[in-house]
Structure 1
Amino acid sequence: MRSTLPTFNEVWQRQFRSGFLKQLQEFPAEKKFLIGCSGGVDSMLLLHLMFFFCPEKVRAIYVDHQLQHMSAGWGTFVQQQCQQRHIPCIVQPVQVLSGNLELQARQARYQAYAQHLQVNEILVLAHHQQDQAETLMLRLLSGAGIDGLAAMKPVDQRENLTIWRPLLDISREQICQWAMDLNIQNIEDPTNQDIHYDRAWAREQLWPVLTERYPKMQNALARSAVLMQDTQDILQEIVQQDLKSCGTAARLDLTRLNQLSKARQRQLLSIWMKGTAQYRPAFDMVERLQREVIAAKLDAQAALHWQGYYYVRYQQQLYRLTAAVYQADRNAIPVEQVLQLNLAANVQLPSGSFKIQQATVGLSRDLLNRPLKLTRRQGGEKIHLHGRVGNWPLKKAIQEAQIFPWTRHTIQILSTDNVMLGVFTPQGFWLAQSAYCTAGGWLPILVSSTLELNDEH
């Protein structure tokens, strides 16, 4: 018996056409669209609609995961359907890594999208209301927070990608009805019924049970996702205010952080660790940061590694360091080398970039263009800093200057004839008191420091 759902033409006039066009018109006129097309009924309907509304602005891409012997044939089908509509079509095979197959397939698919997406294009996907409800349910079962329960947005602005989901409020039943009314052909992927996969299990086994008890469950879950998106936006505003108060993308002031409520601390740390990535860290990772690094003893050199970054505390500051900065190889710096300097020269050293300039008080000009010894700090050295009384252990001077422990290996000592001339540090050149100090001399002036590498921006 034919479904009593509204026909495509009725829905077109009453709700869908106006909503679709309104969303479409919100994008800049110069934008074009890359349609992710699997060959299924939802993506084939989307392909038809996009072609109807803006035929000169669309391309399609079929991502072949190569997980089934029929997948290449599905790509041919999508190509043929696109050819009938004169839509350019890309078929992109990908290799899906081992592990969680659903997750790895998704990552491979989005990498393919990013590979082909042009600067002026928006990625258009055919996710519908049941996809939204399933996403929320599965994320709830995995223990997700607000970001996860916000599920999918109709327009998702990411760092270098915009995703539009124009069918997100439309039920799968409506989509199938419209496709039948329009005689749109499609393929059926048998894995959609394979309950080995979480989403297929939810669709085939969990959904019928819940829907029998709660007939309006799908609408309710989709509405919950919208409410969570509102909550997510409000929370984001608060977290950004807290971040501005407590530090930067590379550093947090722990004194200010501890003035926040425990809940705001967790949210701020979670967003801070996320950085520009797509997903937040797991809840237990935030707890580990609090327990193992923030709450560690002051003399402990605790560090937490997550997603390519190291989180370390120094004094009352928490730092987010790139692996390149934190794992810098001390042995890559020569124990001893020869340096010849001249006025206006630029010198690139492990501690930073320096420029040789005239100074009111500095090193004698007789040292210019002469071989000088540059040695890596070994430990136990003493320095008589210009303008201060007596010799100091260099280690004490470094501690007093609060030079970060992870940059101290870059410190190098400049000398001649066993006389210390000064020390290159990430905070600048420290002039040593010696017979070579003179008025009208020269000094290496710090132009950029290795400390700047700590800031990912």
Structure 2
Amino acid sequence: MRSTLPALNEVWQRQFRSGILKQIQCFPPESTFLIGCSGGMDSMLLLRLMSDLFPEKIRAIYVDHQLQKISADWGQFVSDQCAALNVPCIVEAVEVQDGNLEHQARNARYQAYSKHLKANEILVLAHHQQDQAETLMLRLLSGAGVHGLSAMKQVDVRKQFSIWRPLLDISREQIGQWATHLGVQNIEDPTNLDIHYDRAWCRHELWPVLQNRYPQMQQALSRTSYLMQDAEDILLEVLQQDLNHCGSAIELNLEKLSQLSSARQRQLLSVWMKGQDVYRPSFEMVQRLLLEVIGSKSDAQAALHWNQYYYVRYQQKLFRLSAAEYLAGKSQSNSSEQTICLALGQKIEMLSGNYLAETAKVGLSAALLGQKLDLVMRQGGEKIHLYGRVGAWPLKKAIQEAQIFPWQRYRIQILSIDNVMLGVFTPKGFWLAQSEYCEIGGWQPNLIS
């Protein structure tokens, strides 16, 4: 590591270097860095510092949101500055979706980052102390909990990639001094002054009023975010214990859930609904899950839709289902009918899974192999005489006893010949029906996947 930074402030240099060296220990030695450069003062100073501290280990990326006519010129400015520092630069144009502009622009920006990050590369961003304080303030006003108030982490290790914010403890005023002393050039985005946007409003309208009353507010809010990060880490440890006790990522045992305090129930449901996504559901959505689904009658089959998933109760369990899985049964026609011919060793693809026709101790007559067999969807009201049991009983009751989930029942298909039921294909396997076609040493379809 080398440095050509002017001796602006020996104390700052010592502290900054010490902080950088400590933070970088979180990453593997072979790590390289992709710096997000908007062209603003913060990111251009970061580019300059990183180019001096980590030569030949950095690249830069400018994301052009195409929201302003001059945005392409800003990309060229960043490219020129990178060329002067001998830093490779990527300029990526993105399409910002309709909706909340700030939120959608951020989504587009991070998608561009993710697209270009290499396997051993760390995303480096220029967020500073005031950014942190503003983030906490805005999340507080939106009703965020511990997770939201923890704001941004200096070293944020995510599943997809890691983010490093080396300037997070540094004030904007100090950044301005360093940039001026080092002669760092930058652009000014006029939207940063447009108080139509929440962050600009917070910075230019709310901030001066609060800071006039509380001069140390920025440092206090930043400190609060670190305290909230500690609280969140402790909370996550408890949540993981509760999740291990109550179920898994796709289902929860409601009896065990009820043993937790109301606060722990809400927190567990919130993080469980979040899954691998970035954001948790709102407090109101968690309350709806508690009241409308968990609090419903056990046979009500209530469901709650949130963020592309359906949350469904079945008996004493709560399930998290993809929209495709839950809606498949709703759109499936139960009037389809077809004929199939089977042979030993044949792989059979059914709605309930893949089967293999194999010999068995007791099964269907070999005379049925090669014949046209009828395959129909369950209509309701059918009765089945399961082989080895006494008498016929409703197929519905057999399905309930086998605990086949309601949203999977559309997959059930009945195999027959000349109106004689031979068996039923279910998500739990093939059920052999008692008939004159049963024999010792016959064959059966066995569920293989």
Q: Which TM class, normalised by the smaller chain length?
A: over 0.9
Instruction: Give the CA deviation at 1:198.
Output: 1.1
Instruction: Tell whether the 8 Å contact from 1:338 to 1:374 is kept in structure 2 after alignment.
Output: yes
- SS across alignment from 1:299: coil
Instruction: Tell whether the 8 Å contact from 1:63 to 1:94 is kept in structure 2 after alignment.
Output: yes
Name the aligned partner's letter for residue 304 of structure 1. L
Residue of structure 2 in register with 1:66 after alignment: 66
TM-score by length of 2: 0.96
CA offset digits 1:12-54 (Å, max 9, x no partner): 4331111112222431122211110001111011111111122
CA offset digits 1:360-383 (Å, max 9, x no partner): 111112222222111111122111
The gaps in structure 1 that reach 5 residues or longer are 1-5, 449-457
Instruction: Give the CA deviation at 1:118.
Output: 1.8
Residue of structure 2 in register with 1:293 after alignment: 293
Residue of structure 1 in register with 2:254 after alignment: 254
Instruction: Give the CA deviation at 1:241.
Output: 0.5
Instruction: Tell whether the 8 Å contact from 2:335 to 2:379 is kept in structure 1 after alignment.
Output: no
Name the aligned partner's letter for residue 109 of structure 1. R
Q: 2: distance between equivalents of 1:8 and 1:246?
A: 56
Instruction: Tell whether the 8 Å contact from 1:7 to 1:178 is kept in structure 2 after alignment.
Output: no
Residue of structure 1 in register with 2:431 after alignment: 430
The gaps in structure 2 that reach 5 residues or longer are 1-5
Residue of structure 1 in register with 2:188 after alignment: 188
Instruction: Tell whether the 8 Å contact from 2:299 to 2:315 is kept in structure 1 after alignment.
Output: no
Instruction: Give the CA deviation at 1:334.
Output: 6.7
Name the aligned partner's letter for residue 96 of structure 1. V
Written as runs of structure 1 = structure 2, the 5 A alignment for 1:116-135 is 116-135=116-135
Q: 2: distance between equivalents of 1:33 and 1:146?
A: 30
Name the aligned partner's letter for residue 426 of structure 2. T
Written as runs of structure 1 = structure 2, the 5 A alignment for 1:80-229 is 80-229=80-229
Instruction: Give the CA deviation at 1:9.
Output: 3.5
Identity value in percent: 68
Name the aligned partner's letter for residue 76 of structure 2. T
Task: Answer with 9-18 or 77-86: which moved more.
Answer: 9-18
Instruction: Give the CA deviation at 1:74.
Output: 0.9
Instruction: Tell whether the 8 Å contact from 1:411 to 1:426 is kept in structure 2 after alignment.
Output: yes
- SS across alignment from 2:56: helix
CA offset digits 1:238-284 (Å, max 9, x no partner): 00100011011110000000000000000000010000101100110
Name the aligned partner's letter for residue 244 of structure 1. N
Q: 1: distance between equivalents of 2:281 and 2:188?
A: 36
Closer, same or farther in 2 for the Cα pair 1:350/1:178, shift >3 Å? same
Residue of structure 2 in register with 1:451 after alignment: none
Closer, same or farther in 2 for the Cα pair 1:375/1:212, shift >3 Å? same
Aligned length: 443
Q: 1: distance between equivalents of 2:51 and 2:445?
A: 64
Task: Answer with 406-415 or 370-379: which moved more.
Answer: 370-379
Instruction: Tell whether the 8 Å contact from 1:421 to 1:432 is kept in structure 2 after alignment.
Output: yes
Name the aligned partner's letter for residue 170 of structure 1. I
Residue of structure 1 in register with 2:417 after alignment: 416
Q: 2: distance between equivalents of 1:363 and 1:68?
A: 72
Instruction: Give the CA deviation at 1:333.
Output: 6.8
- SS across alignment from 1:328: helix
Closer, same or farther in 2 for the Cα pair 1:232/1:73, shift >3 Å? same
Superposed CA RMSD in Å reads: 1.5
Instruction: Give the CA deviation at 1:293.
Output: 0.5
Instruction: Tell whether the 8 Å contact from 1:249 to 1:275 is kept in structure 2 after alignment.
Output: yes
- SS across alignment from 2:119: coil
Residue of structure 2 in register with 1:360 after alignment: 361
Q: 2: distance between equivalents of 1:333 and 1:55?
A: 66
